[in-house]
Amino acid sequence: MSAQIRPWGNPCRNKLTRGAFEAVNRRDLDALMRFYAPDALLDTTRTVGVAPRGRAAIRGLVEDWMGAYEELEWLREEPLDLGNGVVFAVVRQKGRPVGTIGYVQQREGWVWVWVDGLIASLTTHPYTDIDEARAAAERLAEERG
C-alpha cells in the first residue's frame, strides 16, 4: 500500500511549513527555531556534510550558511503532504554570495517529519537525488502509518 499523496491534505502542516520558509526568508532565526523540536535533527550529510541535532546546533548551521550570502531565498517548488507527519518538497535556493554581483542557485529534495506541530527531522538531498528523496519520503510515510 503506498502513501496517500496529497498536495497539502493537512492544512496545519502546510501552514507550518510555509511559516518556516517565511521566517528563514526574513532571516528571522528566532522565529525559525520555534518550528523545530528541541532535539530536532537537520540531516544535511548528503548536501553539506553535517547533521546538527538540537536547536542551537541547527541555528549555528543556518547562521553560517546565511552569512555566506548577501541575498538568499528558499522556495518550495513541489510540496507534498505524504501523510503521517511526512512532507516532501523540491526546494530551490537562490542567492548572491558575499562580495559578488552574480547569483547562484540549487535545487534539493527536502523531507520533513513533523511531530506535535514541530519539525522532528529535516533531511536534505542533492538535486541529483530528488527522485530518490521522494521515494524515501513515501517509504517513511508508510512506515510511520
- DSSP per position, the chain: -----BTTS-HHHHHHHHHHHHHHHTT-HHHHHTTEEEEEEEE-TTTTS---BSHHHHHHHHHHHHHTEEEEEEEESS-EEEETTEEEEEEEEEEEETT-S--EEEEEEEEEEEETTEEEEEEEEEGGGHHHHHHHHHHHHHHH-
- Return the pLDDT at 59: 98
Label residue 9 by pLDDT band (50, 70, 90): low
Kindly provide the b/e burial profile for residues 102-127, where b requires at least 16 CB atoms within 10 angstroms of the residue's own CB: eeeeebbbbbbbbeeeebebbbbbee
Average pLDDT of the chain to the nearest whole number: 92
Per-residue pLDDT of 10-41, as tens digits, reads 668 888 999 999 999 999 999 999 999 999 99
Contact at 8 Å (CB) between 53 and 41?
Answer: yes
Task: Give the pLDDT of residue 78.
Answer: 79
CA–CA gap between residue 22 and residue 106 (Å, rounded):
19
**Among 105, 58, 119, which residue's Cα sits nearest to residue 77?**
105
